[in-house]
Structure 1
Amino acid sequence: MTRTVRPETAVDGSAAADAVAGAPAREAETLRHEIAGLRATIAARATLDMACGVVMAVGRCSLHEASGALLAAAAATDTGVEEFAGLLVEGIGGAELADPVRSALRTVLAQLPPTSAAAEAGR
């Protein structure tokens, strides 16, 4: 017959009992950290989605093309795509777009293929 010894009942179990008692606190801290990361991801995703929408509206392009344009413009300005998207969204909200951001965006939009919506508008 095998007997299970719980940490809190072991002769030298005080350290083990402390470890078991500290487990909920460590788990709670891990969960708080994970939630903070998820919130940051959601906020960044929302900014990227707004920036894609702006590029889609201005460039009359698909989501795929807008995403590529954002990546290309971010690379041209040597910034991360999340940072570039944030600058673009701030610019739409009334902040002044920095010249490198404006120039990179103009360049990548000019490289987009004409779409049926753009062709219709040109008639």
Structure 2
Amino acid sequence: SEWAYALSENIPSGFSAVGGQCLHPDDIREDISGSSSGSAVGIKLNLFTFSLGTETQGSILSPAIHTKHVCALKPSVNAWPKDNIIPINYDQDTCGPLARTIEDIELLH
């Protein structure tokens, strides 16, 4: 899932070359779904209140949906600066918040 599968379609969902394999917090057999999965899992486990994820193709919303009880917002492309986002598809790449509540997302957005 790292790099929106741009490097290989064989990378397991939730994998990071730096952090290793991210596992679903409720059931390790379940797919965590997406490159922002570490952000969603950290929020679900109360390690932090919010995080920023990046998305080219489902990487913000999908992990939030799969971890349950995590809120996410995928802003319109170019709504947030893309200065430090590694470009994969300029027309789709975006940055967006994940948080415990919609109110937390409102504070960030």
**Structures share a fold, TM > 0.5?**
no
Which of 1 and 2 has greater Rg?
1
Higher helix proportion (structure 1 or 2): 1
Shorter-normalised TM range? under 0.3
Higher strand proportion (structure 1 or 2): 2
Q: Which structure is higher in RCO with an 8 Å CA cutoff and minimum separation 6?
A: 2
TM-score by length of 2: 0.24
